[in-house]
Chain A
Amino acid sequence: MSRAFTPKVVTANSLLEGDAVWLTEDDRWTKVMAEAELIEDEAHAQIRLLDAQARAGEVVGPYLADAREGENGPEPVHFREEFRTRGPSNYAHGKQVERA
């Protein structure tokens, strides 16, 4: 029996600023992970990754990251992805202040 597919989001770093971005269902790159498209089908995930890779003028290094449905949208599963939604822990820099 094949393993259950863990839902995914497409994420990358923006070309100009280098910050973490996620792909939305309507093909935007958002700085807020909760706005990302949560992909629950493996084949669709691969197609969305191809779509992202074709946008090399906007982002660098797109990849599929595990995610789960949260109250306000997709949430990270792994701590590394969680840090990417927030910024470093030693200063109030990055997304944690941009959002505030």
Chain B
Amino acid sequence: MYQYSDFDEAFVRTRVAQFRGQVERRIDGSLTEDEFKPLRLMNGLYLQLHAYMLRVAIPYGTLNARQMRQLAMIAERWDKGYGHFTTRQNIQYNWPELRHVPDILDALADVEMHAIQTSGNTIRNVTADHFAGAAADEIDDPRPYAELLRQWSTDHPEFQFLPRKFKIAVTGAEHDRAVTRAHDIGLRMVRRGGETGFEVIVGGGLGRTPMIGKVLRDFLPVEDLLPYCEAIVSVWNLLGRRDNKYKARIKITVHEHGVDEISRLVEERFETVKAAFDGTAMDLLEGIRAQFAPPALPPRGTGAYDAARDADPVFRAWADTNLTPHRAAGHAIVSISLKKHGATPGDASAEQMRVIAELAERYGHDEIRISHEQNVILPHVALDDLPQVHAALKAADLATANIGLVSDIIACPGMDYCALATARSIPIAQEIAERFEALKIEHEVGPLKIKISGCINACGHHHVGHIGILGLDRGGVETYQITLGGSGAEDATIGEKTGRGFGAEEITGAIERIVFAYLDLRQGREETFLDAYRRVGAAPFKAALYAADEDAKKDRADAA
């Protein structure tokens, strides 16, 4: 993986020293909160309901064991012994004290990490396919490009005061695991003839105005990546609305001006900008690429793996659910579920982080990934090592066999932590997971993505959940609205609202009714929930959801 250059090291250390001074000046009264707030946000420090929250960037979701151990150390020394992995592949600490934050940032710098541009109206952490460098369906590893974008966007002088935040996602695979169509810029690697380039998607996003991104260029040569992205952000920087923060994201700019006009402006700007990019970036890219060279994965037997499958049904169930084919024979991509039934989605204790680090070092070529689905990935594990890996995960409460199933729920922190939330997300996720565990049907149900957000900002990606749940405050009561049929994959779709929302005590029953309706109407196990929904539409699900409402209406009519 990428190693900091002297420049990176000096830059990050300088920022920590600067922020240390800023914190001191805030505490001694030389800075007001109005002056301090934009400074702390530039360094990832929020103030939430119960405490400060520090959001640490995990560039394109890639970590090594040393970094994971440091995250564990920080959780224990300055927080409450755990961290929360987010839908943007970052980690959040929910309880740091203001005085300690500069020390935490120094500890992060010790392992080449930081919290820069994890907040504020800047280009945020660039996210990528969490199976990058290992997936069988990959054209090229997206991470060198994501790293190049990180270097370009970090402290970019033109882009520190954008109209709003700006998010970029990159994938190198056929199957879109990076939700590229719901990003300000989505980059999908494609091949044309013998050349590799990008399909550039712009103006996607969730939040209060969800939109699926539109293709701005169907093929962008690799060498044009930076000038073209610079042209896009630069056009939006001038055109984007600063009068209304809810209309400021590029999705609104594209919607208001039309993709053709945006394309014209971007191409025009690109011609000007391009001259400033003299090829240095391409030299840099070559150097970066070398650092992402795949590990040597010599052929291994599968005897131990096959024997464990035969002997241990728990191992087999886990292997069937949590493994993804690797491009190298005799190897697998391991997804470690952070969604134990009843646990907080995305949370890992310091002890669990250390176990993951140990496994990555021993069996996984020192590579760890964080997925936007809030799980942890060991991308390169030999099949024959899996019995040991599974045993260690089991001992650390990390062997839940539910990847991609009902209980593998994305949930934002919601009103348990977040100051913007309008309702809680975590207890809803916990209850749904426990309900389906009690019913013992999630393996029968098959692939089904439930995503929960605790407010309209949609950090929990509810719009693109096969079943989406949005928590709202309706007259001082936590109320949950359901959407159906969303997808964040290459067939990206915004889910449709079903109708009236449900109270906290009703929502799990409502989800259960939807799932049972699906089981009743599917044409066989191979027809997934999403396929079935697309075939039959919303009507049968609405009927299952609101049958009691209809009965009550009928009773009232009969009584009248």
Binding site for B on A (CB under 8 A): 13, 15-20, 56-57, 60-61, 77-80, 83-84, 87-91, 93-95
Contact = CB atoms under 8 A, between A and B. Distances in A.
Considering the complex of A and B, which 3 residue pairs feature the smallest CB-CB distances, nearest first? A88-B416, A18-B52, A18-B51
19 contacts: A13-B47, A16-B98, A18-B51, A18-B97, A56-B29, A56-B33, A57-B27, A57-B29, A61-B33, A79-B477, A79-B478, A83-B49, A84-B49, A89-B426, A90-B416, A90-B426, A90-B427, A91-B344, A93-B80
Nearest to B82: A91
Contacts of B476: 77-79
B125 interface: no
A16 to B, nearest CB: 5
Contacts of A16: 27, 97-99
Contact of A89 (B26, B51, B424): B424
Given A15-B26, A89-B426, A90-B344, 11 more contacts: A16-B98, A17-B51, A18-B52, A19-B50, A19-B51, A61-B33, A80-B415, A84-B49, A88-B416, A90-B426, A94-B50
Contacts of B305: none
A15 B95 contact: no
B430 interface: yes
A84 B99 contact: no
Contacts of B27: 15-16, 57
B417 A88 contact: yes
Contacts of B32: 56
A61 B48 CA distance: 11
Interface residues of B, number: 30
Contacts of A77: 476
Nearest to B411: A90
Contacts of A79: 415, 473, 476-478
B290 to A, nearest CB: 43
B110 to A, nearest CB: 24
Interface string B29-73: 100110000000000000111111000000000000000000000
B80 A95 contact: no
Given A80-B415, A83-B415, A90-B344, A20 B430 contact: no
A61 B50 contact: no
Interface string B394-434: 00000000000000000000011100000010110010000
A14 to B, nearest CB: 9
A46 to B, nearest CB: 20
Interface in B237-293: none
B33 A94 contact: no
A18 B427 contact: no
A62 B9 CA distance: 38
A15 B101 CA distance: 13
B51 A94 contact: yes
B412 to A, nearest CB: 13
Contacts of B430: 90
Contact of B97 (A17, A87, A89): A17
A60 to B, nearest CB: 5
A88 B50 contact: yes
B33 A20 contact: no
A84 B50 contact: yes
